[in-house]
Amino acid sequence: MGGVALLARELGFRVTGSDASVYPPMSTQLRAAGIDLMEGYLPEHLQQRPDCVVVGNAMTRGNPAVEYMLNTGLPYTSGPQWLAEHLLRDKWVLAVSGTHGKTTTSSLLAWILEYAGMAPGFLIGGVPANFGLSARCGGSDFFVVEADEYDTAFFDKRSKFVHYRPRTLTINNLEFDHADIFDDLAAIRRQFHHLVRCVPGEGLIVHRHGVPAIDQTLAMGCWTPTTSFGIGLECGASWRAELVTPDGSRFRLHRSGKKPLADEEPIDVSWNHYGRHNVENALTAMAAARHVGVTPDVAARALAEFGGVKRRLELLGTVRNVAVYDDFAHHPTAIATTLQGLRARAGGGRLIALVEPRSNTMRIGEHREQLVAATVDADRVYWFQPPGMDWSLDAVVAQSPVPAVLAGDIDELVSQVAAQACAGDQVVIMSNGNFGGIHQKLLAQLESSESS
């Protein structure tokens, strides 16, 4: 929604917004763009009658602002619908979908197109370092959008991505998530099939090779050419990565298809990112960029200059030779792959994870069994029990494959971690929320103990 607001402002609309507990980096982007940001959902925020209210999917019936909007007959729409009608209608849309990696892959794809001189527009659920903002209209016909399967609004229960009508679609992966709105994986596959139905026959679908849920979705009906990606020379995908270094910071791209032999020569990629999941994200972005004319050698050079995304394994600082990272980590698989990537780069120090299971699906306990194994690559885990969570993390801690601690107070947790951390350790803070400001609190505590 913040990104949609930025796009509306860039198109010349006067934009105001209501939200609760907005924090950086989005809050700073909105204020820098001259968007009036009001705390809470008060009816008086709408009493200077707007021409249109764009309603986010966090809004429900019973919300005071929603009830006022309905009772007074204010015109309203959803964010995805507004985007489709005002910006995407005449664009070549490149939509990045999947359970994990959407933000990083969208950022990679937008940067590759930018590096190639194509000036894309984009809407991304994070802030790519190469751009410094999460959305822009762009200066060309190309638009990259992070395509989420979550529902659109209280009055439109379709997945957001069906509004985007992509010509190029990527499906990074497909697992069960969003248990608050989907009953099972089959329900999610159905929504992805609705998305597949929107891709034209002259478009392209890029998908991860060998994922049964994706294969089952495409088997429901697909009228568009497809290409696949994967890691390993024998994986059977059209776009394959051969890991030159175990951590994925260097890999060799191999491609197969109907291109001339010279176009299929392996291409070496060296970049400042790591983990198998990020190599897969890079393959996805390279294949999608090829569909709009960016050759893999140009894409490889762009990857070398990719600066990452805020809150996606973002290095916040190094104090006392302890590296502190911030990672979004909304799902057990995301936790596991992030820790695998850090483990591959670990030196002599330990890998310490601080995890807040904050997503709606984790809060209701849907992934509790997967959480136990998700941290196997860490040396030590601190689990934080968020207030109002529907279940206790006691069993996760008791069954943990690595030493684990359960915490209920953030300040006490910070003190424990700061006292335990040693030179060479990597500490990764994993939450899809603000985590009570723990990031800066930990850095400050480390700095304080260093000076003393």
Distance CA 144, CA 147 (A): 9
Query: Are 52 and 91 found together in one domain?
Result: no
Please indicate, yes or no, if residue 308 is contained in any of the structural domains. Answer: no
pLDDT along the chain (452 residues), means of 10: 95 94 80 90 95 96 97 98 96 95 95 98 94 95 96 95 97 83 89 97 97 96 97 93 93 76 76 91 97 97 93 87 87 85 78 87 74 91 87 90 93 93 92 88 88 57
Residue ending a domain, among 22, 42, 74, is 74
Distance CA 262, CA 241 (A): 18
Distance CA 336, CA 316 (A): 20
What is the model's pLDDT at position 176?
77
Place of tokens 């994200």: 281
Please indicate, yes or no, if residue 101 is contained in any of the structural domains. Answer: yes
Query: Are 290 and 424 found together in one domain?
Result: no
Cα–chain center distance at 62: 29
Beta bridge partners of 263: none
CA-based torsion, 446, 339, 103, 186: positive or negative: negative
How many separate domains does the chain show?
Answer: 3
Residue ending a domain, among 58, 74, 90, is 74
* Host H or E run for residue 186: helix 185-197
Distance CA 422, CA 3 (A): 39
Q: How many CB atoms lie within 10 A of CB 223?
A: 11
Angle, CA of 333, 353 and 325, to the nearest 5°: 95
What is the model's pLDDT at position 106?
97
Token duo for residue 395: 């069993």
Query: Are 123 and 237 found together in one domain?
Result: yes
Please indicate, yes or no, if residue 309 is contained in any of the structural domains. Answer: no
What is the model's pLDDT at position 263?
46
CATH number at residue 139: 3.40.1190.10
Query: Are 235 and 132 found together in one domain?
Result: yes
Distance CA 143, CA 122 (A): 5
- Its domain, for residue 377, covers 314-451
Helix 296-303 vs helix 276-291: angle between axes, to the nearest 10 degrees? 140
> Which residues have CB under 8 Å from 200's CB, separation 6+?
167, 224
Query: Are 219 and 354 found together in one domain?
Result: no
What is the model's pLDDT at position 347?
64
Please indicate, yes or no, if residue 33 is contained in any of the structural domains. Answer: yes
Please indicate, yes or no, if residue 342 is contained in any of the structural domains. Answer: yes
Query: Are 41 and 101 found together in one domain?
Result: no
Query: Are 68 and 87 found together in one domain?
Result: no
Please indicate, yes or no, if residue 51 is contained in any of the structural domains. Answer: yes
Helix (H, G, I), strand (E, B) or coil at 287: helix
β-pairing verdict for 142-146 and 156-159: unpaired
Q: How many CB atoms lie within 10 A of CB 33?
A: 17
CATH number at residue 10: 3.40.50.720
Query: Are 219 and 143 found together in one domain?
Result: yes
CATH number at residue 332: 3.90.190.20
Q: Where are any strands of DSSP class E within 137-266?
A: 142-146, 151-153, 156-159, 168-171, 204-208, 226-231, 239-243, 250-255
Tell whether omega for the bond before 25 is within 30 degrees of 0, i.e. cis: yes
CA-based torsion, 122, 93, 148, 6: positive or negative: positive
Query: Are 34 and 169 found together in one domain?
Result: no
Query: Are 127 and 261 found together in one domain?
Result: yes
Query: Are 128 and 170 found together in one domain?
Result: yes
Q: Which residues of 399-438 are buried (b: 16+ CB within 10 A; e: fewer)?
A: ebeeebbbbeebeebbeebbeebeeebbbbbbbbeebbeb
Distance CA 318, CA 434 (A): 20
What is the model's pLDDT at position 451?
59
Query: Are 295 and 328 found together in one domain?
Result: no
What is the model's pLDDT at position 403?
94
